[in-house]
């Protein structure tokens, strides 16, 4: 799923307001904590912080079923497996 498609999907789906507010507040605090420093690669930094726990929680929700996890996250199973490897997220052996 491209970033543009993800934006369209997010607009089409009514996300729970508390989740959106929590994200906005976290980003606001992060930027405030930076003071006068100019953030670089903020999007990539946030994705690296948000994506691993998102994947882990959906894996937990699906009881480790990678196909269902990938489908829920809107990505292919191969993309999910790549991200599991990239973020060193263990799977199997009853982990989830």
Q: Which three-class secondary structure string do you get for the chain?
A: CCHHHHHHHHHHCCCCHHHHHHHHHHHHHHHHHHCCCCCCCHHHHHHHHHHHHHHHHHHHHCCCCHHHHHHHHCCCHHHHHHHHHHCCCCCCCCCC
Residue 49 lies in a domain: yes
Q: Which of 92, 31, 89, 26 is nearest to 73 (CA)?
A: 89
Mean pLDDT of all residues in the chain? 88
Confidence of residue 78 (pLDDT cuts 50, 70, 90): very high
Residue 24 falls inside a structural domain:
no
Q: What does the alpha-carbon distance between residue 89 and residue 33 come to, in Å, rounded to a whole number?
A: 29
Q: What's the number of domains the chain is made of?
A: 1
Q: Is 80 within the bounds of a domain?
A: yes
Q: What is the CATH classification number for the domain harbouring 55?
A: 1.10.10.60
Average pLDDT of the residues in 57-71? 98
**Has residue 1 got a pLDDT over 90?**
no
């Amino acid at each position: 799923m491209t970033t543009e498609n993800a934006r369209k999907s997010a607009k089409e789906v009514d996300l729970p307001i508390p989740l959106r507010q929590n994200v906005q507040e976290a980003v606001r605090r992060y930027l405030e904590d930076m003071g006068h420093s100019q953030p670089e690669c903020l999007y990539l930094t946030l994705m690296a912080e948000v994506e691993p726990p998102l994947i882990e929680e959906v894996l937990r929700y699906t009881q480790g079923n990678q196909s269902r996890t990938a489908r829920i996250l809107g990505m292919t199973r191969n993309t999910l497996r790549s991200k599991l490897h990239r973020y060193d997220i263990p799977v199997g052996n009853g982990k989830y």
